[in-house]
């Protein structure tokens, strides 16, 4: 891979990220805001620590602020508590060994074994790796001195306080369930747009380089929209969590019913929304496979030999599939009418698929070097219909 091209693509991606952050709410804006909050929290923690703590533990204050500041107040608080617990245990182990047996190679080995075991036994999550790290610093750098351990604990508490302070004073913009449903619908619209662009290209005599470049550009944009949809679902789920001691909120319709709505999920609960995003992402992967096959065929010497009636009918199949994808991502709680329309769309896709499959069997569709393309295109279309009809399967 060309290093200069890699730098250009990275720079272009970073600029696109900043443009989307400036354009409106989304995971890009939250990400940029989080970076500024992290910078502010680490600087404030370092300034305060420089004034009140010894230089031997100064670095731990900004490091802790960097570690605990997360995208939401809930996650920041959770990480802070787990990290503080890991620090307390690690310092306690180091001080205990330093006071009783002293600093030796064998005592360090025993200390690390105990710290690693404690990190696995305690429910510390990802912060369990910090327990042996803190124990190592307190033992090796501080000689197991309890006073050093106390200074280290104060530095960590200061950094955690700065991180939590920035998380509380500058919380992310609130997100509602409707944001996640709109993001799912937008993602479905983008995936459907890719399929319709493919259909339009197939109706041409032969897709030119500009058409192929347009397909590839749409596929690259899908990655960003998928990340945005997944972010919106996660943030709306986070916002719906009740505060400690407060009962969960109920919608105006009361508790959700447990009725099933095949073939698509009711995109009104977190699990179903995550399923919808994952399903649409897999449909995008199938669209990418179709683009690869058509791009190869369009740039080969055999495209003119392909059966035009097959390609035109396949374009119609993609249009019908795009309609089904769009209806799948309607969002919100599905009504019986929505489910019926989605089922009818999928039925039309299946009908068109069977017609094309029968044509492949009946007619002599074997252009030189290109006969596998028909089967690959049909297989991808069939798999997309399966994804929409059975979204919970992976």
Give 74-123 pLDDT, tens digit per residue.
888 888 999 999 999 989 999 998 888 888 889 889 999 998 988 887 77
List, in order of start, the domains of the chain with CATH numbers: 24-169 (no CATH), 177-240+262-389 (1.20.58)
Q: Percentage of the chain surpassing pLDDT 70? A: 75
Give 328-365 pLDDT, tens digit per residue.
887 544 555 467 788 888 889 898 888 888 877 776 65
Rg (CA), the chain: 28
Range among 103-107, 151-155, 228-232 rated most confident? 151-155
DSSP code of residue 35: H
More confident residue, 38 or 357: 38
């Amino acid at each position: 891979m060309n290093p200069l091209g890699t730098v250009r693509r990275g720079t272009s991606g970073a600029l696109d990220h900043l443009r989307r952050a400036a354009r409106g709410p989304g995971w890009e804006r939250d990400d940029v805001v989080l970076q500024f909050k992290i910078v502010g929290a680490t600087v404030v923690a370092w300034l305060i620590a420089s004034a009140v703590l010894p230089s031997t533990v100064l670095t731990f204050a900004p490091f802790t602020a960097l570690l605990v500041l997360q995208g939401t107040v809930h996650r920041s608080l959770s990480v802070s508590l787990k990290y503080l617990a890991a620090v307390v245990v690690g310092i306690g182990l180091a001080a205990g060994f330093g006071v009783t047996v002293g600093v030796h190679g064998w005592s360090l080995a025993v200390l690390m074994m105990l710290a690693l075991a404690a990190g696995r036994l305690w429910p510390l999550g990802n912060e369990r790796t910090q327990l042996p790290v803190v124990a190592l610093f307190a033992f090796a750098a501080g000689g197991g001195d309890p006073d050093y351990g106390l200074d280290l604990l104060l530095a960590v508490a200061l950094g955690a306080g700065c991180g939590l302070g920035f998380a509380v004073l500058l919380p992310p913009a609130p997100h509602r369930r409707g944001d996640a449903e709109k993001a799912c619908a937008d993602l479905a619209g983008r995936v459907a747009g890719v399929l319709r662009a493919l259909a339009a290209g197939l109706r041409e005599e032969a897709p030119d380089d500009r058409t192929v470049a347009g397909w590839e550009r749409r596929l690259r944009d899908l990655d960003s929209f998928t990340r945005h949809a997944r972010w919106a679902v996660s943030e709306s789920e986070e916002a719906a969590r009740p505060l400690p001691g407060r009962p969960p909120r109920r919608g105006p319709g009361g508790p959700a019913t447990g009725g099933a709505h095949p073939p698509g999920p009711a995109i009104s609960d977190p699990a179903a929304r995550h399923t919808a995003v994952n399903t649409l992402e897999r449909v995008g992967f199938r669209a990418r496979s179709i683009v690869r096959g058509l791009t190869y065929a369009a740039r080969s010497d055999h495209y003119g030999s392909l059966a035009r009636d097959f390609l035109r009918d396949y374009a119609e199949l993609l249009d019908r599939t795009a309609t089904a994808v769009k209806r799948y991502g309607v969002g919100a709680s599905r009504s019986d009418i929505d489910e019926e329309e989605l089922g009818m769309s999928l039925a039309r896709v299946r009908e068109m698929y069977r017609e094309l499959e029968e044509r492949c069997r009946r007619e002599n569709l074997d252009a030189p070097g290109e006969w596998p393309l028909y089967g690959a295109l049909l297989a991808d279309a069939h798999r997309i219909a399966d994804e929409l009809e059975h979204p919970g399967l992976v």
